[in-house]
Amino acid sequence: MSEIQTGGGEQKKGKPKKMSLRVDFTPMVDMNMLLITFFMFCTSLAKPQTMDITMPVKDEKVTDAERNKVADNKAITIILGEENKVYYYFGKPNYKDYNSLKVANYGSSEDKNSLRSILLKRNKVSIANIRKLRDMRDRKQITLADYNEQVKKIRNDKEGQVVIIKPMDTSTYKNLVDALDEMQICSIGIYAIVGVEAPDKFLMDNLKKAGALTAASDFGKAKTK
Amino acid sequence: MSKVKSKKHSTFIDMTAMSDVTVLLLTFFMLTSTFIPKEPVKVVTPGSVSEIKIPDANIMTILINIDGKVFLNLDRKDDKLKVLTNIGKDYNINFTPEQKAAFIEQPNIGMPVGVLQRFLDLKLEDQDKELKNAGIPTDSTNNQFKHWVMLATKSNKDLSIAIKADEGTPYPKIRTVLNTLQDLKLNRYSLVTVLKPMPAGF
């Protein structure tokens, strides 16, 4: 405003003093932009996500209840194998029949052969319950705290599915995280990461050789009580 | 004449508003962001649908790169000092005050204890170069990693453990680390992941 007047050139000579009121902010803006750029490159806004896991205490053996569950056909054992393959069997393995071990992948639920669709099929009841709860939450029939509590209850239900994850030496860390992720997606509350044992290795070898090892091994006799 | 002069004036843009905006943005960035910690090795974390955020303070990050090299990162400086003093006691090494200062300055722990003194005498840039090819020994005969973790958890009871491993790391390397932690009766960890959207319908 003042500078427009001074620009007129019709004012008296005493006026130009007013011009000093105007400060040029361009260098200031330059500097600020530089600082912003620096902050954008050198800092991170979002904190990284984490996935919390609890490992079993080492010397604690699997309890009888859990063992029974394996016998009850409740358990699913998944073996993380090489080249992003997953091998799985339900309940107790049948060492006589090499086809009891099946192969799956880490695909989405559209893929019929993916780990997710298999787990979803097995865990149908819980998932249906959780869906119902979510609907109720979305319609504001129950509070969020209630919802969380009930979901937790369903997930940790002792009657629910139990998954045993056995990563082979050939698998990668990504495979493990993916498998743990599937547990979360498929609402499986009870799962454990366990080491691979000789019977599991036998099952895998036998599957690869299409049953050629069945006759030669004594796993079928010794392990099934 | 007057027309020309007024045109000259119109080239002068008022930067005050622009400056206001930039200062505001700057303040926002300064207040909300945290500095990315320097990491000696590049680690690509796998994606997961988990939305739990990493805790703010008292974290020990275990960094595992694709070759299975292990590094430790403690976020509190006084913890680091305590750990170094204890390591010195256990391995009969007397660290000079300069070496202690250098240890705190260097964000990552990743050197075998035997060469730690020589390493800490180096300049920070040279340290980073050397750190890339090092890593804490984790083999069962010389498990210095176990020692570090034990001392770290002893010096800070509230320490939570975050494992940041590369997605391509072979499982045996991860197992070594997990087994070591289990040996120390540490059974709760957070695996650092990047957010992957939950598949539709879940």
Domains, chain A, with CATH or none? 2-42 (no CATH), 64-123+160-223 (3.30.420)
Task: Assess whether B84 and B115 both reside in one domain.
Answer: yes
The partner residue sitting opposite A51, judged by closest CB among B32, B34, B190, is: B190
Alpha helices in A72-114 (DSSP H): none
Q: Is the Cβ pair B18, A80 closer than 8 Å?
A: no
CB A80 within 8 A of CB B171: yes
Task: Assess whether B78 and B119 both reside in one domain.
Answer: yes
Burial profile A34-52: b = 16 or more Cβ within 10 angstroms, e = fewer:
ebbeebeeeeeeeebbbbe
**pLDDT surpassing 50 at residue A223:** no
A88 sits in which H/E element: strand A86-90
- Structural domain containing residue B22: 2-32
Which residues does chain A have within 8 Å of residue B1's beta carbon, measured at their own beta carbons?
9
How confident is residue A62, by pLDDT bands cut at 50, 70 and 90?
low
CB B129 within 8 A of CB B157: no
Distances from the Cα of B167 to the Cαs of B42, B141, B193, in angstroms? 11, 27, 9
Task: Assess whether B23 and B108 both reside in one domain.
Answer: no
Task: Assess whether B81 and B164 both reside in one domain.
Answer: yes
Residue A3: the pLDDT is: 44
Say what angle helices A115-122 and A124-138 make with each other, to 10 degrees.
80
Q: For chain B of 202 residues, list the mean pLDDT of each consecutive stretch of 10.
A: 54 83 90 78 81 80 84 83 82 80 81 79 78 79 81 82 85 84 81 78 62
Q: Which residue is associated with the tokens 């800092």? A: A43
Q: Is the Cβ pair B5, A172 closer than 8 Å?
A: no
Could you give the dihedral angle defined by the CA atoms of residues A124, A161, B193 and A145, in that order, rounded to the nearest 10 degrees? 70
**pLDDT surpassing 70 at residue A15:** no
| Closest residue in B to A172 (Cα–Cα) | B170
Task: Assess whether B170 and B78 both reside in one domain.
Answer: yes
**pLDDT surpassing 70 at residue A18:** no
Type of residue at A150: Q
Which residues does chain B have within 8 Å of residue A44's beta carbon, measured at their own beta carbons?
33-36
The partner residue sitting opposite B191, judged by closest CB among A42, A50, A58, is: A50
Q: Is the Cβ pair B19, A3 closer than 8 Å?
A: no
The partner residue sitting opposite A49, judged by closest CB among B36, B170, B194, is: B194
Report the domain count for chain B.
2
Q: Which residue is associated with the tokens 């955020």? A: B53
In a domain, B162, yes or no: yes
Task: Assess whether B166 and B110 both reside in one domain.
Answer: yes
Lowest mean pLDDT among A148-157, A167-176, B13-22: A148-157
Q: Is the Cβ pair B170, A169 closer than 8 Å?
A: yes
Task: Assess whether B117 and B64 both reside in one domain.
Answer: yes
Q: d(Cα B42, Cα B132) in Å, to the nearest integer?
A: 9
CB A85 within 8 A of CB A168: no
Q: Is the Cβ pair A36, B49 closer than 8 Å?
A: no
Q: d(Cα A219, Cα A222) in Å, to the nearest integer?
A: 5
| Closest residue in A to B183 (Cα–Cα) | A58
Contacting residues for B32 by C-beta, under 8 A, at least 6 apart? A45
Query: Which two three-digit tokens encode residue B56?
Result: 């703010």
Task: Assess whether B28 and B102 both reside in one domain.
Answer: no
CB hemisphere CA count around B79 (13 angstroms):
24
Task: Assess whether B68 and B161 both reside in one domain.
Answer: yes
Residue A34: the pLDDT is: 93
How confident is residue A214, by pLDDT bands cut at 50, 70 and 90?
low
Q: Is the Cβ pair B167, A174 closer than 8 Å?
A: yes
CB A21 within 8 A of CB A2: yes
Backbone angles phi, psi at B184, to 5 degrees: -85, 10
In a domain, B42, yes or no: no
Task: Assess whether B21 and B63 both reside in one domain.
Answer: no
Residue A217: the pLDDT is: 59
Task: Assess whether B180 and B83 both reside in one domain.
Answer: yes
Q: Is the Cβ pair B54, A181 closer than 8 Å?
A: no
Q: Which residue is associated with the tokens 């005498």? A: B121
